[in-house]
Amino acid sequence: MNTSKGSLPPRSNGQQRNNRQQPRPAASTTTKKKKTKKRGFFARLIRLLLVLLIVAIIAALGYAGYLYWKFDKGGFGVDQPVQAGQSASEKPLTMLLLGTDNRPKHPSNLTDVIMVAALNPETKSATVVSLPRDTYVELSGYKKTKINAFYARFKSKEKTSGILAEDEMKTMMSKYLDIKVDYATVLDFQGFRDIVDEFGGVDVNISENMCYTDSVDGTDINLKQGPAQLNGEKALDYVRYRKSNCSPETKPSDDFDRNKRQNEVLNSLISQMQSLGGVLKIGKVLDAVDDNLQSDIENAQIKSMIATYWNISKENVKFVPVTGTWRSPYVYINDKELEAAKKSLQDQIAGTSSGDAAASADTP
């Protein structure tokens, strides 16, 4: 009677409570499994990335060690210690950069490229002054002649004078630019070709068609206007081009245009060198220039320079080409531009360099 009805709750109400309280084991278990699986996948991915990062760091350190070994064993610098307080990481340095017109079919010590660079470790910046090869130099104690003839003259007198041509050039250029030149580096044409080739070429924008041939030394310049990627041989043609003997004749180029193109190629090489692919090619580049580069930089100093300036920004490298007036067979330098170039180098050394000194420079 009433006992059974009172002891058992109504069927319909019990079903509603059961529906509300009944757990859903199947659905809950599935969700947990999915979350666990998801977390496991990302955890493994993170671990993998960490392992790859560690391997990359070890490889980078190993490669850096390899480069250091190359400088110790190769013929790139001088096997002497750097004096205390004189390393590239501690003080500004200046360097004379010479590119000689030396080729297998045309041996020569004439310098087609004359640049002086000043580097400052505090500002992580550099100034590069380039001078036309035909610059007329009138300097006390030296013969009045083209600037590109001095290295060859000093080289021919090394045995009698007992003074290295590189040291003579540093002394002369220090006097000419009113700064102390610390080091000299000489690279011949073959070395230039090899460097460009090892880095995979350089990207430039050719302003005019260029055509010139010379059967005596094997020169065959034939470059078309417009953007181009040049290999070592073509890049050398690009920076060397002066005049045309072709038909139709192409527009001639003076020393000032050549300096601009040298700066453009150097700028492109900086980009190539700082890329990941460029970093991995440094070893081959060193092998390539071994027989075509001379320098009086100590091996330990080279290491310090790499560590200090490897990641220098292109925006912090100022190119200051000095121009003048061409009156055959010389270029008579513009005195104001020369003074501005001197000040630009001096400011860089002092760490007070600003854009003003190089305002007239045509930076690529």
How large is the average pLDDT for residues 151-168?
95
| DSSP structural state of residue 103 | B
| DSSP structural state of residue 315 | G
Tokens representing 126 are: 């550099």
* Domain range 74-350, CATH architecture: 3-Layer(aba) Sandwich (3.40)
In whole angstroms, what is the distance from residue 111 CA to residue 130 CA? Answer: 12
* pLDDT of 13 strictly over 80: no
Q: Contacts for 155-162 with beta carbons within 8 Å, 24 or more apart? A: 155/109, 156/109
pLDDT at residue 68, as a whole number: 54
Residue spans per domain, the chain: 32-73, 74-350
The 3-state DSSP class for residue 144 equals coil
Per-residue pLDDT tens digits for 310-341: 778 888 989 899 999 989 899 999 999 999 99
How large is the average pLDDT for residues 224-244?
93
pLDDT at residue 70, as a whole number: 56
| DSSP structural state of residue 82 | P
How large is the average pLDDT for residues 181-193?
90
* pLDDT of 353 strictly over 80: no
Positive or negative torsion for Cα 127, 131, 136, 141:
positive
Mean pLDDT for the chain overall: 80
The 3-state DSSP class for residue 333 equals strand
pLDDT at residue 14, as a whole number: 45
Positive or negative torsion for Cα 121, 293, 128, 315:
negative
How large is the average pLDDT for residues 221-241?
94
In whole angstroms, what is the distance from residue 258 CA to residue 131 CA? Answer: 10
pLDDT at residue 181, as a whole number: 98
* pLDDT of 56 strictly over 70: no
How large is the average pLDDT for residues 352-361?
49
Give the DSSP H or E segment for 100: strand 93-100
pLDDT at residue 315, as a whole number: 86
Contact between 126 and 120 under an 8 Å Cβ cutoff? The reply is: yes
Per-residue pLDDT tens digits for 122-145: 999 999 999 999 999 999 999 999
How large is the average pLDDT for residues 101-128?
87
pTM (two decimals): 0.71
In whole angstroms, what is the distance from residue 350 CA to residue 344 CA? Answer: 10
Please, which residues have CB within 8 angstroms of residue 175's CB and are 6 or more apart in sequence?
A: 139, 140, 141
